[in-house]
Chains A and B, each alone.
Chain A
Amino acid sequence: MFSAVSKLRFVICEDGSEYVERFRRFLGDEFDFVVAHDYGQACDVIDGAAGLLMDLDFRRTAADRLIDERGALPRAIDDGTRRRLAETQGILILRQLRATGVALPAILFADLDDSERARFLERTLAPLTVAGSQLGLRDIAALMRARRAAR
């Protein structure tokens, strides 16, 4: 249905493989997906990507692969800090990528109970769409397809 040439490649940043497996299976005909489990890997695969699909919570990621607000890899952190960094790691990675000049459109999969916070992120980390879990795969595909149309 879609030619290989026309496929857009998206980088999926997540601590597991749920998103990439699901997207490859159901959207693989239309898009290419590459997974990054931390900031470093994201940097490695970012070239040529059409967009970023960011998970928020990286609780399964080892502490020494998390970055903090400054983008640094902390040497040894307390449990509270590790948890705090993991809970917002998707944002921190995106923030750091933006800081390094990556302006790719991004979708952040997060259920933010604070709508002000969502607006804050979409404003400070634009172009960004915060997608809550109420969005189905079809809605996400539509967002990605919009990106292709924009290109």
Chain B
Amino acid sequence: MIGRVDEAARDLEIAVNLAPSDAVAWRTLGKILATHGGALEAERADEALRNALTLEPGWADLRDLRDKLVKRRSAGKPPATPGKATVPSDMARGFYQKAEEWIHVGDPVGLGRELLDQALADSPGFVAAAVTSFALTGRLPPATLEALKDDGPGLWALASGVRKLGQTGRPSGTKVARADDVEALVRPLMDRAIALDVQEARFARAIARAATGDRAGARDDLVAYVAREPNPEHLAEARALRAELEDPVGARGDAQSSPLLLARIRLLEDKPDAALRALGGGCTRSTPGDRLIALGLVNDYAERLALARVCYELAAEAGGLSGGAGLVRAANLDARLPDGELKQANRRVLAAAAAANIGAAEWALARLAEAEGDRAGALARTERALELAAGNTSDGDHWVDDARAGKKRMSDTLRADANARRDRQRGAGAAGIAALVVVLGLLARRRWRGYTLARALRRRPALFPDVARAVGELRHDVLKHRAGLLALLAEPDATSSDGDPDRVPMPPRDGLRRAEPGSAHTTREEVVAAMTQPRPTSAVVAAVYDRLAQAATGHGITLRALEREPVLGAIHGDLARAEALLGSGRPHAEFADIDARLRGPHQDGLVGLLQLGPRTRLDAATLSSWIASVEASARSAGGGWTAPALSLTELDIDFPVEHDALAAIFANLLRNAQAAVVGQSDGRVVVRVDRARDVTGRQEVSLSLGDSATKPLTLETIEARESGRGLAIVRDLVREWRGHMVVRPDALPFTKVVGACFPL
């Protein structure tokens, strides 16, 4: 394993030497060394990572890796081996420690500086104290310079410390000069250290010379640096820098380095501010494209993303050689910008980058689309971004992972939306179907519910009187006197003024006089009048049926809709049809059919309804039980009782009256008879049940009570009585059931008979 890692590291070092701008190679090398290298490899790993970051500042994961390396290096770093002159005495250390404490709190009384001077007085080569003194005074103590003049490592340590102060800026309350001044200040120290064979100083001077455009001096230092030791610490970096310095493309032919090289050099020194200064400030439309890219890189490196974005976008819009790089840089930066910052991105640049098949641009646009609610568009762009990213990105392009996660999230969301939409549609469909079912159910209920008259009569016999009255009215008033005239139009040779005016009336075969053309009244007009005045016969049927329906409701029964009632509905339908035909002047054939139905099936239907009336069979047993009931009631009330005799002309007789009504009629007749003979010592009561044909040929059944009372009683007397008592109840029930009361004398020992007759 270790062997393979070393082999890979060697291959990568070769790769970065051959192509120093290969960010991926630097990245891979840095990660291998950082991950698998030991403490001794930490410095090389950090340099590789730094190179990668200078090329691709967006690889934020490398920053994290560098932080880890710093900790590891500090933990495993062998103690510095400065020269003897740099070793402070214990007293000097003590002074310095106290001085630091005072300086840390602002050194209000100047004691910190005094202690620092005492430390340096005791140990002039005390580098840390000298650097702190420089920070406070802006000057290097001469005694220190003198003490270190032959101590190369000590001088380099002093120069490094001072340079670092210059790089990190001037702390408040200090007198550190500008970075360039610091560079000028430490340059002699670096030169002296190099002269004393400190290769670190040589490498640093090479970078510094490159930054100032001293390509030759930088190359010399790099060559000397690489040649001095077989495997110097910054070998790969030095080679890369030398290659770039010698790159004819990057060379301008003048003394100045390219902006990118300048930036990279400064960034290799971790000096982004210096890089910015070297590059000449901010990004504007007038800034050259390569400088815009370089400025973008530096800002990107320093994590000033908004500024970096502007630089890249300007470079992209400027076009030219830097335009393509600008598109790529802008797209990659936008892809990793926070959502809020991304909204500020230049859409035109992103669109151009997407058109140039830059996956990061598609992802950035996908994010914007998603933020604007266009999920489908966002998903499509994300998929496109991932397609473009395949094989064209490294693991440092974290937007790819984000895009994959985004694709999954958006797919899930769209699927959930689709499911929700489908569920809503299904729900709406189901609701619609349910509503339709309810409506159809209501319509069906309205259409199909209810009883026919025949069924209603079977369930509620008490409805019969209403039905019988309705049937009688329809047969007499509608069918007989009005609809009967339809037969005149049903005859095949019937003519009228509303027929063909050119038709010559034929002599009637049956002798019926026909209406003459031009006469004031014609057959059709008469029939029309009969069928429609004072109101249409169909309307009369409907009104009669409405009355029946109300009566049925009173009995707890709902009748069907008229059009579905087999008897009255059929009559109504034919009458309505006939009325319509009369109004439209249609031919006669249908009148014949209607007339035939009215005289045949419809008449039979009405007669059939009358035959559905209730029948209550009266025989001796039934009468005895009814008598016993009345007797019990009378005795419990303390009244007298005269046992009635029974007189039945037949063993049993059916009465066209509902059982309860007939029982009530009998009970009241009997109670009336009993009351009439109260006080008579020889009072007589007889129950007579008879069936006979009256003078009109009509069969009647009668239920009557004879008594021996002497008090006269007439129908008029009964008619005058108020309802609700005794014979008035009988009167009303008999009338209800289409019967009539009789009061007539009877043979002795009886005086009269009071009873009820019902036609069969």
In the complex, A121→B322 CA distance in Å?
A: 128
Residue of A nearest to B512 (CB): A26
Interface secondary structure of A, over-half rule? helix
With a cutoff of 8 Å between Cβ atoms, the chain B residues found around residue A69 in the complex are 694-696
A-contact 0/1 string along B499-532, CB 8 Å cutoff:
0000000010011110000000100001000000
Query: Considering the complex, which residues of chain A in the window 1-18 have a beta carbon less than 8 Å from any beta carbon of chain B?
Result: 1, 16, 18
Choose one: B510, B603, B699; the contact of A141 (CB below 8 Å).
B510
Choose one: A28, A59, A78; the contact of B719 (CB below 8 Å).
A78
Choose one: A25, A30, A84, A118; the contact of B511 (CB below 8 Å).
A30
A-contact 0/1 string along B722-758, CB 8 Å cutoff:
0000000001001100011100000000000000000
Residue of B nearest to A125 (CB): B697
The bracket for how many chain B residues form the interface is 35 or more
Contact (Cβ within 8 A) B600 A134: yes
Choose one: B491, B610, B716, B719; the contact of A138 (CB below 8 Å).
B491
Choose one: A16, A80, A88, A138; the contact of B481 (CB below 8 Å).
A16
Contact (Cβ within 8 A) B488 A26: yes
With a cutoff of 8 Å between Cβ atoms, the chain A residues found around residue B475 in the complex are 111, 133
With a cutoff of 8 Å between Cβ atoms, the chain B residues found around residue A138 in the complex are 487, 491, 510, 512
The listed residue with most A CB atoms (<10 A of its CB), out of B484, B488, B600, B697, is B697
Any A CB within 8 A of the CB of B384? no
Q: What's the least CB distance linking A78 to chain B, in Å?
A: 4
The listed residue with most B CB atoms (<10 A of its CB), out of A77, A84, A112, A116, is A84
A-contact 0/1 string along B697-728, CB 8 Å cutoff:
11100000000000000011011000000000
Choose one: B491, B694, B731; the contact of A80 (CB below 8 Å).
B731
Contact (Cβ within 8 A) A92 B695: yes
Residue of B nearest to A145 (CB): B511
In the complex, A64→B719 CA distance in Å?
A: 16
With a cutoff of 8 Å between Cβ atoms, the chain B residues found around residue A149 in the complex are none
The bracket for how many chain A residues form the interface is 35 or more
Choose one: A78, A111, A113; the contact of B731 (CB below 8 Å).
A78
Choose one: A84, A120, A121; the contact of B740 (CB below 8 Å).
A84
Contact (Cβ within 8 A) A77 B513: no
Any A CB within 8 A of the CB of B760? yes
Q: What's the least CB distance linking A35 to chain B, in Å?
A: 14
Any B CB within 8 A of the CB of A44? no
Any A CB within 8 A of the CB of B170? no
B-contact 0/1 string along A71-92, CB 8 Å cutoff:
0000011111101100010011
Q: Given that A25-B526, A88-B696, A117-B698 are contacting pairs, would A79 and B479 also be in contact in the complex, using a CB cutoff of 8 Å?
A: no
With a cutoff of 8 Å between Cβ atoms, the chain B residues found around residue A114 in the complex are 697-699, 760
Q: Given that A29-B513, A91-B696 are contacting pairs, would A81 and B760 also be in contact in the complex, using a CB cutoff of 8 Å?
A: no
Contact (Cβ within 8 A) B698 A137: no
With a cutoff of 8 Å between Cβ atoms, the chain B residues found around residue A142 in the complex are 510
Any A CB within 8 A of the CB of B535? no
Q: What's the least CB distance linking A115 to chain B, in Å?
A: 11
Contact (Cβ within 8 A) B716 A79: no
Any A CB within 8 A of the CB of B480? yes
With a cutoff of 8 Å between Cβ atoms, the chain B residues found around residue A83 in the complex are 735, 740
Residue of A nearest to B717 (CB): A78
Any B CB within 8 A of the CB of A124? yes
Query: Considering the complex, which residues of chain B in the window 408-439 have a beta carbon less than 8 Å from any beta carbon of chain A?
Result: none
Any A CB within 8 A of the CB of B19? no
Query: Considering the complex, which residues of chain B in the window 658-693 have a beta carbon less than 8 Å from any beta carbon of chain A?
Result: 693
With a cutoff of 8 Å between Cβ atoms, the chain A residues found around residue B735 in the complex are 79-80, 83
In the complex, A116→B485 CA distance in Å?
A: 28
In the complex, A142→B485 CA distance in Å?
A: 17
Contact (Cβ within 8 A) B610 A124: no
In the complex, A90→B549 CA distance in Å?
A: 32
Query: Considering the complex, which residues of chain B in the window 576-616 have a beta carbon less than 8 Å from any beta carbon of chain A?
Result: 599-600, 603, 607, 610-611
In the complex, A149→B476 CA distance in Å?
A: 31
In the complex, A87→B731 CA distance in Å?
A: 18
In the complex, A98→B476 CA distance in Å?
A: 25
Q: Given that A79-B735, A88-B698 are contacting pairs, would A57 and B599 also be in contact in the complex, using a CB cutoff of 8 Å?
A: no
A-B contacts besides A18-B481, A80-B741, 6 pairs, CB < 8 Å: A16-B481, A29-B511, A69-B694, A80-B740, A136-B491, A141-B511
Nearest 7 pairs of A and B residues by beta carbon: A78-B719, A80-B740, A120-B697, A88-B696, A117-B697, A91-B696, A136-B487
11 A-B contacts (beta carbon < 8 Å): A1-B511, A26-B512, A26-B513, A69-B696, A83-B740, A88-B696, A113-B611, A116-B699, A117-B698, A117-B699, A142-B510
> Which residues of A approach B to under 8 Å, CB–CB?
1, 16, 18, 22, 25-30, 57, 59, 69, 76-81, 83-84, 88, 91-92, 95, 109, 111-114, 116-118, 120-121, 124, 133-134, 136-138, 141-142, 145
